[in-house]
Structure 1
Amino acid sequence: MTARKTNGTDLRTSPSLRRRRLGIALRRLREVSGTSRELAGARLECSPSKISRIENGDVGVRRRDLEELLDLYQLTDTEERAKLVDLARESRERGGWWIKYSDLPKAYLRYIEFESVARSIRWFEMSTIPGALQIPEFTESLIRGSDPTFTPEDLSRQLDVRRERQRTLTAPGGPDCAFVLGESAIRYRVGGDGVWRRQLQHLLELADRPNIRIQVLAFDHGAHEAMAGSFQIMHHHKPDPAVVNCEGFAGHFVMDDPVDVERCSQVFDRLSASALSPQLSLRLIAEAVA
């Protein structure tokens, strides 16, 4: 597959994913060597919590510190050491289009970075249209209704970010996207009747794209496993890890533990199997617009 690029940047990976991949490797080496985080922290003259942040990919690691850790973990394979050194260097490189929004909350910025380099996205949304599918008027009405403290400048910034995200997802060679929406997501008339109808029409148009599949989980299905909120599963090009983003009042929370990813994948598969087929889902949306 040809890599997607934005402004010359290879969008198959990202600095944050490289840090995560490096952290996974360092955690594995530490555990295999029987070294505690306390001992590793003492070697670098830092706290065990910093070792944890390195292993979680939250912070990078300097080459000198990396070499110290690899010595402590008794890694003698020169080829593997060289790969990890290169990975640490690459994790410090600048990323794609999202770097110009560095003033945004860190968790949200990391989420859109993971989204922008994904090869596939599985997205469940209980009660609203996903941001990647929203028209600007819908986004504006949603933000104003959910957070009245937003300034005009904040709102303009959010609309710019949404446009960039949508451009990435809908560009040629974009990720394979599967959306399962709770029926309430298409029933809430956010922005009034006119905006709501244009938003639903936009969904119908997006569903014509070969990389986008939309399903609706009907009201009459009853209770299900994901009634508490929304989540997105983002698979990346190997060897970068898949991640799950959960979103709520507290913001974005990203998980990359393979057990968590697999559990969420199974939940999504069951939701998709319980939802209306793509054809029946689009018919339901079209009938709502009519």
Structure 2
Amino acid sequence: MPPKSATTVRQRRIARKLRAWRIDRGRTLDQVGSQLRWSESKLSRIERAESGVGPAEIIALATILGVDDAERDRLVQIARVSSTGHDLWGPYGPESLRGEFKDFVEDEAEAVQVRTVESTLITGLLQTAEYAEALVRAWDPGAAEEVLAQRRQLRQQRQARLDAPEPLKLHTILYEPTMTVPIGGNAVMRRQLEHLVERSEAPNITIQLLPLSVGAFPGIGASYHLIDFTEGCAGAAYVEALQDGTYYEDEDELSAYTLAFDHVRKLALDPAESVRRISEIGESLA
């Protein structure tokens, strides 16, 4: 695959899906290319996101491979949006939305589900305004007010998907220390934990707490996000770091993070017990 800077996240997603269509049906590059009168190298470049592909090519491939109309049309729509160059996130400068975090945010906006494991902080989609503000000001004390305003707006725009007509599903696993770090002070943390309890009532939000008593667990110390375009099937993963993060699309990497998530999910308290424990911790923050 070429450097990520050479393609957009949507183009890479289209390429992966086209390759998956072909492989799932047991067809070779040569077989499909011959039917379409394309060279094998042309199809190979398309599947590696080295060549652009539009709705006409997607429809042709879907027809040859017997892809159902609904699945075909979803990919055609992604290609149409990609070709317009329309960027929902254009208003945000690099101080608010940089590098591979932008890839993550773009995919999150089109995902059906996001699964996260958080070792240190409450996941961004469930942060209160006060908690997020305390984080931003501690993280970047010298940030201009314009940047702070952009970050507030970005958080609100991302969180709005949880309450959209077709809401994003969120399954977050929070390590117990995320509940006890007094971000913004006890009052802010207490309100943050109350917010988690309130949001857990939404049918599209699942919150699990991973207790300290489990000891070591897969991925301990890491915080990561799995982005699912088909529920339960990761299409990408984002691992947080100091300035930006690392965005993974390779199948082997995705398998490793998916396996780690599944292990941690089984170690964590069930959702009902998690909410009870979160409430207890919140009540202790007098």
TM over 0.5: yes
Instruction: Please show how residues 164-179 of structure 1 align to structure 2 within 5 Å.
Output: 164-179=157-172
Quote the residue 2:240 is aligned against: 247
Quote the residue 1:101 is aligned against: 92
**Inter-partner Cα distance in structure 2 for 1:173 and 1:19:** 24
Instruction: Please show how residues 1-290 of structure 1 align to structure 2 within 5 Å.
Output: 16-22=9-15, 25=18, 32=29, 61=52, 90-95=81-86, 97-101=88-92, 103=94, 104-237=97-230, 242-290=235-283
Letter paired with 1:171: A
**Inter-partner Cα distance in structure 2 for 1:172 and 1:96:** 22
Gaps of 5+ in 2: 1-7, 31-40, 65-71
**Inter-partner Cα distance in structure 1 for 2:62 and 2:197:** 54
Gaps of 5+ in 1: 1-14, 34-42, 45-50, 68-75
8 Å Cα contact 2:130-2:188 kept in structure 1: yes
Q: Number of aligned pairs?
A: 248
For residues 241 and 186 of structure 1, do their structure 2 counterparts lie closer, same or farther at Cα, with a shift above 3 Å needed?
closer
Task: For residue 19 of structure 1, report the CA deviation from its aligned partner.
Answer: 3.9
User: Normalised by the size of structure 1, how large is the TM-score?
Assistant: 0.72
Write the deviation string for residues 227-261 of structure 1: whole angstroms up to 9, x where unpaired.
232111111159x9711111111412211222222
Q: Could you tell which deviates more after superposition, 215-224 or 15-24?
A: 15-24
Quote the residue 1:70 is aligned against: none
- SS of the residue 1:91 aligns to: helix
Q: Give the superposed CA RMSD.
A: 3.6
Q: Percent identity, aligned pairs only?
A: 28
User: Normalised by the size of structure 2, how large is the TM-score?
Assistant: 0.73
Write the deviation string for residues 184-205 of structure 1: whole angstroms up to 9, x where unpaired.
1111110011111111111010
